[in-house]
A and B are shown apart, each in its own frame.
Chain A
Amino acid sequence: MAAGVSSQPKKVLNLYNWSNFIAPDTVRNFENETGIRVNYEEFSSADVMYAKLKIGVTGYDLVVAPGYMVRRMIRQNLLTALNPALDRGVFLPHLQSPPYDKDLAYSVPYLWGTTGVAYNKTKIDRIPDSWDLLWNQDFKRHITMLDEKRDSIATALFRMGEDPNSTDAKVLEQAKRELLKQRPLVRRYTSDFVDDLIRTETWACLGWSGDVAQAKKSNPDVEFYLPKEGGFVFVDNLCIPKSAPNPDNARAFIEYFLRPEVCSKITNSTGYANPVTQAKTLVDSKYLNNSLGYPPKEQLERLVYQAELGAQEAVWDRIWEEVKR
């Protein structure tokens, strides 16, 4: 606040988060404890959130952003550095130095998960372990792929044993051919895969761990695994935009979230693992040592972060468009 202007700082926090990405009572408890009133708004596409900040919509104090977007937003000077910096030691080891923000200078890990294969166990009589399941001819028109170029193209790359962040045009062409082979089996390319999975409309799909955990609550036949060829680990992060009117209140929410009893509740409600090491003891045991929540060590080693594609991102865009159209 500028010196000389006497204005009472408003006790308000404008929070912009994914839909279904918080426990039902988190906001209320935070309000009761701090007296800060929360304006809670949800998005279902991170691109929409990013587009709003990019074109200069102001008023958000705290936004939840996926890692690849954090990187872009840091570069475009849309985020405020955390001051003082957080103690990274409280986070799980593999989240302490993510490639998009190595020192966690601008982002606080919020929830994290993995990409893998979800399937309905009544439709298959052996336990699958490979990405091959998404190319299974018996599942014709019962497979869905995510409408996300990074995740879906990487599926083909993982399966081929290639770098899932490849920028090699030849390799990407090959991945495109694999995806075009798969296309007749695909019922649709969508990121809303949960309902189809619950209703057994989908028998196997590329999915995000926590969303699959949600589906499993409604349909116990749903299973999930991290394919032996590897998969992505992704982190959604709490970030304070440059334009935030109440950055102090955003900071208060971040500190509140990092309490083990708060973030473990969010995990138990959303199915997505939280980053706080100490919170693991409070998390529902069904998520521990399980690819749905906290994968065991040997599975963690298969996980890869999405890397910057640089100028080659245009090639990914073009390939994804050619696969879908």
Chain B
Amino acid sequence: MNRWRPWILLAPFLLFDLLMVIGPLCVVVWQSFHAIGPDYEVQSGLTLANYKRALDPAYLPALGRSFLYAGTSTTLAICLGYPLAYFIANQKPAKKSLLLILVMLPFWTSYLVRTYAWMTLLQTEGVINGLLLKLHIVEQPLQMLNTPGAVILGLTYCFLPFATLPIFVSLDGLDRRLLEASSDLGASGWQTFKSVILPLSAPGVMAAALLSFVPAVGDFVSADLLGGPDDHMIGNVIQQQYLGSFNWPFGSALSMLFIGLMVLSMFFYAKTEDRDQ
């Protein structure tokens, strides 16, 4: 009985996982080895053609952009999220909860709606250009919408809370006595930050990087709405196959290769982590 107890307790979760995560993934794997017929129906014979096509170098630019945009936005989100988390962690408990709620607030509206709001801000005759023109900072309105910068901005904005929260958790749990010890031993504020706070919050930063990079690299909404024709990410390519060309098997093959690449990079990431510790 005792031996089975953990499994019984885990059963609801495992069942959910099996039905809602593993199940759909199996469908994607299955589809990726089939061809489509003239009416876009999945045909019965097995084939590797989708994978062969997915390895076409023509898809590399979109893949490269995904890593570039997601990497840049993750770095920015951490640079912005760290001071924010530090500030919140140093507040009194009541204020702390209020500020944390404010960080979470954007989640109460859909990502899509917030991205549309950015379109209004960034457009040629939009709020930001209006302000810049009024203050005579620019003479001609800037072209900000439908540029790589707008896509990175959209991603950074969206995943900033994902970066802030894990860093906050690691900073909030910091043993204050260590900071006192550091200053007692004559370290300056900067030295304390560099040699005590930063290393101790590193796991939080790593978690933040992972939590904002993984969803950003597969995102397609930001590139679709804020980007131009040359800003497509791998998520857009896959979405186009599913809803535009209606080629679900090929979209599945692209997804599988992408998932494989992500798993591999996570694996190497975990390895270097282990070595570092």
- The distance from the CB of B15 to the nearest CB of chain A, in whole angstroms, is 23
- Residue A72 lies at the interface, judged by CB distance under 8 Å to chain B: yes
Contact with B along A301-325 (1 / 0, CB 8 A): 0000000001101000100111011
B residues within 8 A CB of A187? 146, 228-229
- A188 and B39: CB pair below 8 A? no
Alpha-carbon gap, A155 to B244, bound state (A)? 18
- B38 and A149: CB pair below 8 A? no
B residues within 8 A CB of A45? 243
Number of interface residues of B (CB under 8 A): 26
- B38 and A183: CB pair below 8 A? no
- Residue B123 lies at the interface, judged by CB distance under 8 Å to chain A: yes
- B123 and A189: CB pair below 8 A? no
- A189 and B229: CB pair below 8 A? yes
> Quick one: given A200-B125, A201-B124, are A325 and B58 in contact (CB under 8 Å)?
yes
Contact with B along A172-183 (1 / 0, CB 8 A): 000000000001
* Closest residue on chain B to residue A48 by CB atoms: B243
Chain B contact residues: over half helix, strand or loop, or mixed?
loop
- B123 and A75: CB pair below 8 A? no
B residues within 8 A CB of A310? 38
- A188 and B229: CB pair below 8 A? yes
> Quick one: given A310-B38, A311-B38, A320-B244, are A186 and B124 in contact (CB under 8 Å)?
no
- A324 and B243: CB pair below 8 A? no
- B38 and A322: CB pair below 8 A? no
- Residue A147 lies at the interface, judged by CB distance under 8 Å to chain B: yes
A residues within 8 A CB of B157? none
B residues within 8 A CB of A201? 123-125, 145
* Closest residue on chain B to residue A196 by CB atoms: B123
- Residue A47 lies at the interface, judged by CB distance under 8 Å to chain B: yes
- Residue A199 lies at the interface, judged by CB distance under 8 Å to chain B: yes
> Quick one: given A141-B146, A200-B124, are A325 and B232 in contact (CB under 8 Å)?
yes
Which of B38, B123, B227, B237 meets A188, CB within 8 Å?
Answer: B227
- Residue B240 lies at the interface, judged by CB distance under 8 Å to chain A: yes
Alpha-carbon gap, A225 to B243, bound state (A)? 29
Alpha-carbon gap, A51 to B239, bound state (A)? 14
A residues within 8 A CB of B41? 76
Alpha-carbon gap, A47 to B243, bound state (A)? 6
Q: Which B118-175 residues sit within 8 Å CB-CB of chain A?
A: 119, 123-126, 143, 145-146
Alpha-carbon gap, A106 to B182, bound state (A)? 80
- B244 and A322: CB pair below 8 A? no
> Quick one: given A45-B243, A76-B39, are A325 and B59 in contact (CB under 8 Å)?
yes
Q: Which B6-40 residues sit within 8 Å CB-CB of chain A?
A: 38-39
- Residue B43 lies at the interface, judged by CB distance under 8 Å to chain A: no
Alpha-carbon gap, A75 to B39, bound state (A)? 9
- A317 and B245: CB pair below 8 A? yes
Alpha-carbon gap, A147 to B39, bound state (A)? 20
- Residue B62 lies at the interface, judged by CB distance under 8 Å to chain A: yes
> Quick one: given A183-B229, A199-B123, are A149 and B244 in contact (CB under 8 Å)?
yes
Q: Which A50-80 residues sit within 8 Å CB-CB of chain B?
A: 51, 72, 75-76
Alpha-carbon gap, A147 to B236, bound state (A)? 12
- The distance from the CB of A30 to the nearest CB of chain B, in whole angstroms, is 30
B residues within 8 A CB of A189? 229
- B245 and A321: CB pair below 8 A? yes
- B245 and A325: CB pair below 8 A? no
B residues within 8 A CB of A321? 240, 244-245
A residues within 8 A CB of B252? none
A residues within 8 A CB of B145? 201
Q: Which A167-221 residues sit within 8 Å CB-CB of chain B?
A: 183, 186-189, 195, 199-201
- B123 and A324: CB pair below 8 A? no
- Residue B247 lies at the interface, judged by CB distance under 8 Å to chain A: yes
* Closest residue on chain A to residue B232 by CB atoms: A325
Contact with A along B189-204 (1 / 0, CB 8 A): 0000000000000000
Alpha-carbon gap, A320 to B246, bound state (A)? 13
> Quick one: given A188-B146, A201-B123, A317-B245, are A324 and B229 in contact (CB under 8 Å)?
yes
Contact with A along B50-80 (1 / 0, CB 8 A): 0000000011011000000000000000000
Most A-side CB within 10 Å, residue of B39, B229, B237, B246? B229
Alpha-carbon gap, A299 to B253, bound state (A)? 45
A residues within 8 A CB of B237? 325
Alpha-carbon gap, A184 to B125, bound state (A)? 22
Alpha-carbon gap, A34 to B22, bound state (A)? 47
Pick the 5 closest A-B CB pairs, nearest first: A317-B245, A187-B146, A47-B243, A186-B229, A201-B123
A→B interface (CB under 8 Å)? 45, 47-48, 51, 72, 75-76, 141, 147, 149, 183, 186-189, 195, 199-201, 310-311, 313, 317, 320-322, 324-325
B→A interface (CB under 8 Å)? 38-39, 41, 58-59, 61-62, 119, 123-126, 143, 145-146, 227-229, 232, 237, 240, 243-247
